[in-house]
Amino acid sequence: NNNNNNNNNNMKEKSTRLDLGRSGLDNTERVATALADAAGTTTTTTTTSSSSSSSAMTPHTISNMLWSFASLSHPLEKGTLALFEKLTLAQIGHFNTQDISNTMWAFAVIRHRPSARVHHELQLRALDQVSSFRSQGIANVLWSLATLRMTPEPRLLQGIETKGLRSVGKMTAQGVSNTLWSFATIRHNPSQKFKQALQLRAIAVSQQCTPQATANILWALAQLGVTPMQILLEDFELMISMKLDHYRPQALSMLLWSYATFDRQMPPKLYKKIGRQIIMTTTNFEPQTIANTLWAMAKFKSFPEGDVLQAIKNKIVPNVDRFTMQGTTNTLWALMKLGQHPTGNLADSIRIRLTAQSTQSPPGPDESNTVRVRDGLLSVRPMIRADTEILRALQARALTFKGEFTAQTTSSLLWSLTRIRQPNIINRQLVAALEDSAIKNCLSFRPDTLVIILWSLAKLQHPISAQFFEAFAQPLSRALPSLTENERIILGWSLQILGFQDRD
């Protein structure tokens, strides 16, 4: 259902010569044929009268017209789309696999979510015909559902897997990419056998993979929790290196994110080449691309070129208002990870400080051991290289999501704030909002994350509320037996600083 490359250059010129009139649907067969010809396909519609009634609209005509409009990027008004939906419902019982595939693909391309009824009927018809689908049709149906974020029928997914496993050997590179990307996007993990078959097919067609297809395949495998075959990675790394000049920012960030998720270091030469390509393309970096790229580099604990980090950082402030909550969190976390100096084991630092303090003269009448330990630990602040303007902008953006923080974003943001060396640029409103979120999510934190939360608030010298003490008392009691010795030391220090020992 993709346009032939030879027709792409003429498509726009042909489409401007089409005179559809105000209704755009008079003499439906003529319009369908003209549109399909302009889009570079051949119709086999049955000759009918020029009546514009629904009886003149065969399933092929309906799907072909929709496909043509989508291929030509022709805008359709709501009324026209509603009419197409009505015609689809009227003829759905006669749709064959190509009609189903074309219709669903077209709705996805023009980003039109059909009504629940149309969506349901198309899936039921696809289920009835699933054994007759070709590999490209399967990929298109899956891609359409994923693109429109429509919930697939479980039985249809099962049928697609069964048919897909039999026809995977005929899949094109784009078909493999779309299939894997779709499964990952709708969060459906297919059988191990099907995933292995798709990887083997990806190896077979690796030379035909476009940069985006390569990135999509790796991204999908990472999302599905699959460790790629070694031969697949080796083939793809060769193809990536050969075609790197054609990689766009999104594909570059997907590559880095995938390798970081695989917990696999990129080959140094390839990583360096990608760094140079990033510098050349940062003008077009979107917020999600920025966040994913920085997150991956932080996981790698390095960046490929000296100018790469600065080139990406230059894009943060101008785009900060478009960052999502997760993107904001990941970006701030990554900057702190990439910018910090090694500080050693925290528990060892506490032991060293306590030992050093114990060899000094006893505290004065107004100085407690708690105060001395606190002051000593708070002096051990990692250096960060993130610009003040960036840190303030990211904190302000994070604050706009107040009330929406998840347990994961709460702990990540609190940890990130502790790595900021300059206390005067820490957004105290954000810290207070994160305390509220910690209270709300207190039962969702893992034992080790509870320690991070308390340690972060102690490091930030945040005066916590009585409600916080009440909320965390029970989770801490339950978590204590599973904590390591180091975690207990850190927890004990945090409780002292926060004043837990003064509470009942």
Lowest-confidence pick of 87-96, 341-350, 495-504: 341-350
Q: Is the pLDDT of residue 13 over 50?
A: no
Any domain includes 453: yes
Please choose, from the candidates 261, 332, 262, 259, the residue with its C-alpha nearest in 3D space to the C-alpha of residue 290.
332
Q: How many CB atoms lie within 10 A of CB 423?
A: 11
pLDDT digits (tens, 9 = 90+) for 427-475: 999 999 999 999 999 999 999 999 999 999 999 999 999 999 999 999 9
Number of H helices, E strands in the chain: 26, 0
Q: What is the mean pLDDT of residues 355-361?
A: 44
Q: Give the per-residue pLDDT at 304.
A: 79
Q: Is the pLDDT of residue 34 over 70?
A: no
Q: What is the mean pLDDT of residues 13-19?
A: 36
Q: Which of the listed residues 86, 113, 132 is the one where a domain comes to its end?
A: 132
Q: What is the mean pLDDT of residues 478-498?
A: 94
Please choose, from the candidates 441, 463, 459, the residue with its C-alpha nearest in 3D space to the C-alpha of residue 450.
441
Asked if residues 323 and 397 have their Cβ atoms less than 8 Å apart, the reply is: yes
Cα–Cα distances (Å) from 84 to 28, 30, 79, 123, 285, in that order, read 12, 17, 9, 17, 37
pLDDT digits (tens, 9 = 90+) for 202-214: 999 999 999 999 9
Higher pLDDT, 78 or 122: 122
Any domain includes 157: no
Q: What is the percentage of the chain residues whose pLDDT exceeds 70?
A: 79
Can you give the pTM of this predicted structure? 0.77
Q: Give the per-residue pLDDT at 11.
A: 36
Any domain includes 322: no
Q: Give the per-residue pLDDT at 386.
A: 58
Q: Which of the listed residues 76, 100, 132 is the one where a domain comes to its end?
A: 132
Asked if residues 165 and 194 have their Cβ atoms less than 8 Å apart, the reply is: yes
- Within 13 A of 293's CA, how many CA atoms are on the CB side? 30
328 pLDDT band, cuts 50/70/90, is very high
422 pLDDT band, cuts 50/70/90, is confident
pLDDT digits (tens, 9 = 90+) for 218-238: 999 999 999 999 999 999 999
Any domain includes 323: no
Q: Is the pLDDT of residue 131 over 60?
A: yes
Q: Give the per-residue pLDDT at 366.
A: 37
Across 47-56, 300-309, 454-463, the highest mean pLDDT is recorded for: 454-463
Q: Give the per-residue pLDDT at 77.
A: 85
What is the SS3 assignment for 239?
Answer: helix
Q: Give the per-residue pLDDT at 21.
A: 39
Please choose, from the candidates 260, 259, 322, the residue with its C-alpha nearest in 3D space to the C-alpha of residue 285.
322
Write the single-letter amino acid at 253: S
Taking every pair of Cα atoms in the chain, the longest distance, rounded to a whole number of angstroms, is 104
Q: Is the pLDDT of residue 368 over 60?
A: no
Three-state DSSP string of 317-380: HHHHHHCCHHHHHHHHHHHHHHHCCCCCCHHHHHHHHHHHHHCCCCCCCCCCHHHHHHHHHHCC
Q: Is the pLDDT of residue 12 over 80?
A: no
Q: Please state, rounded to an integer, the average pLDDT across all residues of the chain.
A: 83
In whole angstroms, what is the distance from residue 221 CA to residue 264 CA? Answer: 13
Domain count, the chain: 2
Any domain includes 254: no
299 pLDDT band, cuts 50/70/90, is very high
pLDDT digits (tens, 9 = 90+) for 137-185: 999 999 999 999 998 999 999 999 999 999 999 999 999 999 999 999 9
Q: Give the per-residue pLDDT at 270.
A: 96
Q: Give the per-residue pLDDT at 495.
A: 92
Lowest-confidence pick of 9-18, 20-29, 325-334, 404-413: 9-18
344 pLDDT band, cuts 50/70/90, is very low
Any domain includes 183: no
Q: List CB contacts of 428: < 8 A, sequence separation 6 or more.
A: 462
Please choose, from the candidates 91, 106, 166, 87, the residue with its C-alpha nearest in 3D space to the C-alpha of residue 134.
166
In whole angstroms, what is the distance from residue 481 CA to residue 91 CA? Answer: 65
Q: Which of the listed residues 97, 114, 132 is the one where a domain comes to its end?
A: 132
Q: Is the pLDDT of residue 17 over 50?
A: no
Q: Is the pLDDT of residue 46 over 90?
A: no
In whole angstroms, what is the distance from residue 450 CA to residue 445 CA? Answer: 6
Residue 308 burial (CB < 10 Å; 0-12/13-18/19+)?
buried
Any domain includes 59: yes
- Find the length of the chain: 504
503 pLDDT band, cuts 50/70/90, is low
31 pLDDT band, cuts 50/70/90, is low
Q: Give the per-residue pLDDT at 97.
A: 93
Eight-class DSSP state of 482: G
Give the structural domain span for 5. Answer: 1-132
Q: What proportions of the chain, in percent to the nearest 5, are helix, strand and coil?
A: 70, 0, 30
Please choose, from the candidates 367, 412, 374, the residue with its C-alpha nearest in 3D space to the C-alpha of residue 394.
412
Eight-class DSSP state of 151: P
- Within 13 A of 254's CA, how many CA atoms are on the CB side? 19
Any domain includes 437: yes
Q: Is the pLDDT of residue 16 over 70?
A: no
376 pLDDT band, cuts 50/70/90, is very low
